Homo-oligomer: A and B are copies of this chain.
Amino acid sequence: MHQRSERLIMSSPMFSSAMNEVESAARRSREASFRLQGIELEKKNAALDAIIDALTDDRDRIVDANLKDLERAAKNGLAKPLLKRLRYDDQKLEESIESIRSLIDQPDPIGVVLKRTELDEGLTLEKVSCPIGVIGIIFESRPDALLQISTLCIKSGNAVLLKGGSEAELTNRVLADSINDAIVGVDRRFEDAVQLLSTREEVIKLLELDSLVDLVIPRGSNELVKSIKEATRIPVLGHADGICHVYVHEDADPEMAARVCFDSKCQYPAVCNAMETMLVHQAIATRFLPKMAEEFSKAGVELKGDEDTMKIIGAKPATEEDWTAEYNDLMLAIRIVSSLDQAIEHINSYGSHHTDAIVTQDEKSATKFMDEVDSSSVLWNCSTRFADGYRYGLGAEVGISTNKTHARGPVGLEGLVIYKYRLSGRGQIVAAYSGENARKFTHRQLS
């Protein structure tokens, strides 16, 4: 039945043994995705319940495997923050289970009728949410990502091909086996729904399979995301850069502005939604900057500024590169602008369309900023750090997207969902709607 994809693959220059294995895995994912299209909510939730049981039963095996991964990683000199991410202990396991419980509580994202239209008497069109199909996920270090993503895919009826970091190989393998035993035990249709790839070479091959994989989601460093975007024609959901701004407008409350800017920069500087450039209106700069700079200095933030900034506070000179830098660290570029328009232009030109904030007392200026700044999250009088799935109330997060199509900003389950049209009739034909005595469409929106 599958000669078509086989033929496509065998005629490709990428054909090789690894390709053969990955293509065969991806083809099994595709078959699983067809079975999962119509799978009932009860079965999906039962599968998630079974995963919770399996994690509880396999707790010791999982933690043991993780200890071995940790040992080997430490021997190989993995950096401390990465070792911390790699750790998967009893507490992390509890958190994973808690997150699966909340996923069970969520309504079915599939089968939701988004629109219902009567085209004619007895001819009814429904636009209905459905799974995307086969999702490829490439993630680094954190073994909890494997659980989070697999369970999101199960709830949304997608088949998933996973590739974790090699340093977490043993943990990931035990987790994937637990998941699979659990879900296939609930329903044979879950076979091949969750598959784990093991080598980097397999990922490279996977990215070639645009006829078998519908969406790739990389979770990890900017470098990972960039390299994947470069290497595939499959749609990629993710963000490469987080160059976020706070703009302090001329009428801002200086105390509020300082609070928002400090939190945006310092609350967790290593993450994508931290502020990297602060823009300050020239009319407020001399009142605002000196105290702000003092607070930043106390927190150990190194400041770089344009010429006007350096006239007011001590700062190293900012170069053109600083306006596009994602420091992810205690470092900040500061620029003084002469107008709201200039602030917006700076953000749209140099930013990464991720998350940008304005501090102002003026609703009109705030609205203009939020209308014209072309970013996935635009904020008024609050910290850029709010831009994430948990804080936005989305529940589990697939990731943050700076894409301009499909899903944008913090993405929850809805990023794993698309729709199809279902048209039900009584034998109607199109010929009846043309020529003499042509029937007319009613196009009536139904509830």
Contacts and interface: CB of A to CB of B under 8 A. Distances in A.
Nearest to A379: B423
The bracket for how many chain A residues form the interface is 35 or more
A101 interface: no
A125 B393 contact: yes
**Residue of A237, A379, A427 ringed by the most chain B CB atoms within 10 A:** A427
Contacts of A392: 117, 119, 125, 421
Contacts of A1: 345-346, 349
Contact of A378 (B119, B420, B428): B420
A267 interface: yes
Nearest to A390: B441
A123 B382 CA distance: 8
Given A38-B368, A345-B1, A372-B38, A393 B424 contact: no
A431 interface: yes
Contacts of A409: 419-421
Interface string A89-111: 00000000000000000000000
Interface in A332-389: 344-346, 348-350, 359, 366-368, 370-372, 374-383, 385-387
B38 A256 contact: no
Contacts of A144: none
Contacts of A346: 1
Given A259-B427, A429-B267, A376 B38 contact: no
A374 B215 CA distance: 15
A421 B354 CA distance: 10
Number of copies: 2
Nearest to A230: B233
Interface string A123-151: 10100000011000000000000000000
A333 to B, nearest CB: 14
A1 B215 CA distance: 34
A64 interface: no
Contacts of A410: 421
Contacts of A433: 391
Contacts of A370: 422
Nearest to A388: B430
Contacts of A233: 229, 233
Interface in A1-48: 1-5, 33-35, 37-38
A324 interface: yes
Given A233-B233, A391-B441, A405-B405, A429 B374 contact: no
A126 to B, nearest CB: 9
Contacts of A348: 34
A423 B393 contact: no
A260 interface: yes
A235 interface: yes
A84 interface: no
Given A38-B368, A214-B404, A348-B34, A430 B383 contact: yes
Interface in A309-349: 320, 323-324, 344-346, 348-349
Interface in A392-441: 392-393, 403-410, 418-431, 433, 441
A35 B341 CA distance: 11
A263 interface: yes
A4 B65 CA distance: 46
A366 B126 CA distance: 14
Contact of A427 (B260, B406, B407): B260
Nearest to A342: B1
Given A34-B374, A406-B418, 5 more contacts: A33-B374, A235-B235, A377-B421, A378-B421, A379-B423
22 contacts: A4-B349, A5-B349, A34-B345, A34-B374, A37-B374, A38-B368, A119-B393, A123-B382, A235-B235, A259-B429, A262-B429, A267-B431, A370-B422, A376-B420, A379-B423, A380-B422, A380-B425, A382-B424, A387-B421, A391-B430, A408-B419, A410-B421
